[in-house]
Amino acid sequence: MAATLIKTIAQELHVLTPADTAEFEKYLQRWSGINLRRPAAILLPRTEEECQKAVHWAVTNKVPFTAKSGGHSLYSTVNYKGVVIDLSDYAGITHDAANKTAVLWGGVITKTVAVELAKDGCCTTLPAVNAVGAIPFFLNGGLSKNVAQLGYASDLIVSARLITADGKLIDVDEKNNPELLYAIRGAGQYFGLVTQITIRTFTFEEALDNSRGNVWDGRFIFPVDRVQEVCEVMKGIVSNDKYAANGLIMVGAPPPARKPCIAILPRLMAKDPSTLQQEAFKTLYDLNPLISGGGEVHIANAADALDPLGAPGGGYKKLVLTGLQELEPDRFTEVTNIWQELTTSHPSALSTTFAFQWDSRLPKPAPFESANSMHNVQFWANNMTWCTGGDSVEAAEAALQKVIGVLRGGQREEEYVDFANSLRGGPVERRYAGEARVGKLKELKRVWDGEGVFSREFL
């Protein structure tokens, strides 16, 4: 791209080019190194007006661009023909505790939202990792340990301000452009650059059943060869809706020990979760795990333990979530075998984890129709391939496909569900279920972004 063209926007807002070596590299970083490309420039708007200028400039000059908030997807990257509009320097939150709504803007990350809401004794649906960009999380569904109590994050969007494909800044709410509200509640990343969203918040009491703002997070560690009996016991826990419990059954080699194990990582929400967990997870304690423990954690800090997992860099990393209908111990045992084969033959894939994610209760239904079609999914395969060396990438990809095939073994193809905010490779119908929904989203895309400025999805 011509340097003269970049100079025109550099007169209006802060712009980094490859010549700004260290700073450019810093803003280029993403959670994963997969397909990470180098743009001609990184635009760093500091206000909503500057965001609009950036999009308007790119659209007018036919410069391909992508927005970037937390950098946790594989999609906030573009090559030398385009620019990244990086929202890191335009980021924040205000909370209206009386009305239980919060306005999030720009590249605000999860942790900031959690901390600010907690100051008022409140919380909302947030992801498992602190550094994930809050707005993209809300826009494409937003799966969380709170969905059964509070609903998917996209169901909590009240309104938004959005820059359209022709560079206009518009309001989106029940009165203004309501059809776009339908779209951004689940498929928002494909319809514009969202500068702000207003979301619903909840008191600790409403969300967690106690006013201290605490949840109980535990861990039960077993040797891998006990996977079958552990899963048999977990079958009784994962759908026992007497308790507000959720978590992961995971095969991996977590730090610091780095020893292969089956880890059960449950969360319990209750008035007195420390006491109730003894009853809720009694059958797990009875299995005599190698390690068992846990404790109350404040909701604002509940994602801190996963900070290393959410950090940028570290090679070839990919998080893939696939909808499942039940926990089948035989299948998870087979998954464990695949993990062992992979990590034994390819030690640089040792950070890979394959997990079954459960919630003992279904996601809270939404009182309106929207792009989000994941309300009937209670269980997910949560698989993260992580290769620290290029030698294991092919084997890890093959193992991942095998694992997904095994876990989906009992499903008909038309039942397949891919998590909307994970990978975009598969058929769109797996992320957005139902002909009517896909048809409506295609029509909205044609009307609002027929040229595919915000990706070709739905065109």
Ligand X SMILES: Cc1cc2nc3c(=O)[nH]c(=O)nc-3n(C[C@H](O)[C@H](O)[C@H](O)COP(=O)(O)OP(=O)(O)OC[C@H]3O[C@@H](n4cnc5c(N)ncnc54)[C@H](O)[C@@H]3O)c2cc1C
Minimum Å distance from CB 337 to ligand X?
25
Q: Which two tokens stand for residue 419?
A: 């998590």
Q: Which two tokens stand for residue 153?
A: 């994050």
CB 225 within 8 Å of CB 130: no
Q: Is 328 left (phi over 0), alpha (psi -120 to 50) or beta?
A: beta
Closer by beta carbon to ligand X, 224 or else 238: 238
Report the distance separating Cα 317 and Cα 39, nearest Å: 21
Closer by beta carbon to ligand X, 31 or else 57: 31
Closer by beta carbon to ligand X, 15 or else 276: 15
Say whether 14 sits in a helix, a strand or coil. strand
Torsion 419-246-411-396 (CA) sign: positive
Closer by beta carbon to ligand X, 90 or else 204: 90
CB 155 within 8 Å of CB 144: no
- Name the residue with the smallest CB distance to ligand X: 133
Minimum Å distance from CB 169 to ligand X?
12
Closer by beta carbon to ligand X, 72 or else 361: 72
Closer by beta carbon to ligand X, 67 or else 284: 67
Residue type, 271: K
Minimum Å distance from CB 456 to ligand X?
12
Residue 407: CB atoms within 10 Å: 25
Closer by beta carbon to ligand X, 180 or else 319: 319
Q: CA dist 294 to 216, 265, 269, 290, 298, Å? A: 7, 9, 13, 14, 13
Site residues, ligand X (CB under 6 A): 31, 66-73, 75-76, 87, 127-129, 132-133, 135-137, 140-144, 189, 193-194, 309-310, 319, 421
Report the distance separating Cα 270 and Cα 194, nearest Å: 35
Closer by beta carbon to ligand X, 39 or else 141: 141
Task: Transcribe 280-321 into DSSP letters.
Answer: HTHHHHTT--SEEEEEEEEGGGTTGGGHHHHSS-SSEEEEEE
Nearest CA-CA partner of 136 in 454, 456, 458? 454
Minimum Å distance from CB 347 to ligand X?
22
Minimum Å distance from CB 311 to ligand X?
9
Name the percent of the chain in helix, strand, coil, to the closest 5.
35, 25, 40
Minimum Å distance from CB 6 to ligand X?
20
Minimum Å distance from CB 166 to ligand X?
16
Minimum Å distance from CB 194 to ligand X?
4
